[in-house]
Amino acid sequence: MKSLYNSTEIYNLFDTEAKYQNVKKHWEKLLEGKDIHSFLDVSYGTGSLTLPLAELGVSLYGSDLTPAMLASGEKKAQKKGLPVQLRQCDFRKLTEHFTETFDCVGSTGNSLPYVSNEEIPHVLEQMDSLIKKGGYLYYDMRNWEKILSQRNRFYLYDPVFVDDVRVNLVQVWDYHPDDTMTFHLLYTFERNGKVFQKEHFEEHYYPVKRNLLLNKLKEMGYTDIQIRCHPAQFNKIDPQQADWYCVIAKKDPDNF
C-alpha cells in the first residue's frame, strides 16, 4: 500500500486557505500570555499545522521523517514568503539532529500515536531535552478515549473543489485485537457527476490514552498543564468530548 506522505499532491488538497486561517487563530489563542518566540515542530509534515506561527513572528523550525513532506513544506513556506528551517529526523532521535533549544517543542497532527505506547515516554523525553528553561511542550491528537469507546468505523470530511473537480475523503477505521488501528483513507475524484479517480492509503496507529502522556509530563516536572480543544478558539467545546484536543505544558524552571 503506497503512503499518503509520499503523495503530497493529494495530501495537500485539503489544506485550503480557510484551514490556514483557522490554524492561525488556533495559535493566536493558544499563545496568549506565553513567552514563546521559537518553536520546533517534530512532526512538521508539510507545515499545515504550524506554518502560521511564522506569520505570527515566531521563529519556526520543523523536522519530519519523510523527505517528500519536507520538500512540500519548504515550497509552501516559500510561496507565502515565510522563513522556516527544516530537517529530516525521526522524533525518537531528536538529540542526534538538534543541539539548539527552543521556547516550545511540539508534535502536531496526531503524530505521537505512530509509535507504540512504550516508545512515547522516550519521545517526550527527547522533546523535553530541547526546551529552554521555563519553556513549553505541546502536542495535539485525536481523542482516542472517544474513538475507543464509540468504535465508529467511518469518519467523513467535507469535500473540497479544485477547479471543476470535487474531491471526497472518507476514513474507514479498523480495530485490531492487539489494540492497534488501521485508518483507510479513501479519496474519490469527481467531474461532471462521475468518479474518474480513486486513491486508497493506509495509516497504522497505536491509540494512546490521555493519562499516559499527562503522567509523563508531570514526572518530567511540568506543573502548568493546559488541556484545550483543538483548534483552541473552540473554547466552548469540552476537550473531553471533542474529536481532537491539544495540550500545552510549561515546565517549572526549578525542575531543569
What are the extents of the domains in the chain? Answer: 4-145+208-255, 150-205
What cell was used for 230? 483543538
DSSP characters over 108-146: -SS-GGGS-TTTHHHHHHHHHTTEEEEEEEEEEEE-HHH
Per-residue pLDDT of the chain (256 residues; tens, 9 = 90+): 778 999 999 999 999 999 999 999 999 999 999 999 999 999 999 999 999 999 999 999 999 999 999 999 999 999 999 999 999 999 999 999 999 999 999 999 999 999 999 999 999 999 999 999 999 999 999 999 999 999 999 999 999 999 999 999 999 999 999 999 999 999 999 999 999 999 999 999 999 999 999 999 999 999 999 999 999 999 888 888 999 999 999 998 777 6
pTM for this prediction: 0.95
- Model pLDDT, residue 256: 66
Instruction: Look at the domain 150-205 and name its fold.
Output: N-terminal domain of TfIIb (2.20.25)
State the amino acid at position 94 in one-letter form.
Answer: L
State the amino acid at position 196 in one-letter form.
Answer: F
CATH number given to 4-145+208-255: 3.40.50.150
